[in-house]
Amino acid sequence: MLILDINVSGTFLIAREIAKEMHHANVSGSIVLFASMSGHVSNRGINTSAYNASKAAVHQLARSLAAEWGHPQNTFPGSTLSDTNPTASMDPRQVYPPIRVNTISPGHIDTPLSEEARKRGLTDEWAKQNMLGRISMTEEYRAPVLFLLGDGSSYMTGAVSACFIQCDDTSLFKGYQRSIRNQATLKQKVANEML
């Protein structure tokens, strides 16, 4: 499927090439991958199972790459950098600077791609479910990305930074509340019949 190729394979290939360049330049650094809240929750009202699965895969990819590239001994041949490219010239005696890998998980963002959802009234519904009463803007992701790239997060790797606020998560919590109420009603009914 194209969405999996782009979001998972494409993300991996780009991250790998960046890591190779960092190793060849003998520099440490940070890579930030963009995932999505859809890697954590299901989106009601739209059919996005392939997208959701691809973004969950990006979370796991970041954790795995963080483990492989964060420690110098893990970046020798046999790791992801050389397995996927047999011609990679990595000296097993070389100590490579660590590379941190983290993800940002945006929530609903107001972009031109949201237009179809806006026409269907979904963006208004999403805004109602949000503690701030609105969906996010693209510029609100600059500071979290800069934080993950900078020294302030120098001991963070493999982290999923959830940049969505979904307090009144009706898709998850209200169904659970209904289930609990139904169980309580059933228990009360059984108790009344036993009296």
- Residues marked as catalytic: 51, 55
Kind and range of the H or E run holding 184? helix 175-194
Name the packing angle between helices 49-69 and 11-24 (round to 10°): 20
- Alpha-carbon gap, residue 43 to 170, rounded angstroms: 11
- In whole angstroms, what is the distance from residue 144 CA to residue 72 CA? 26
Q: Are the CB atoms for 108 and 136 separated by under 8 Å?
A: yes
> What is the C-alpha to C-alpha distance for residues 160 and 195, in angstroms, rounded to an integer?
53
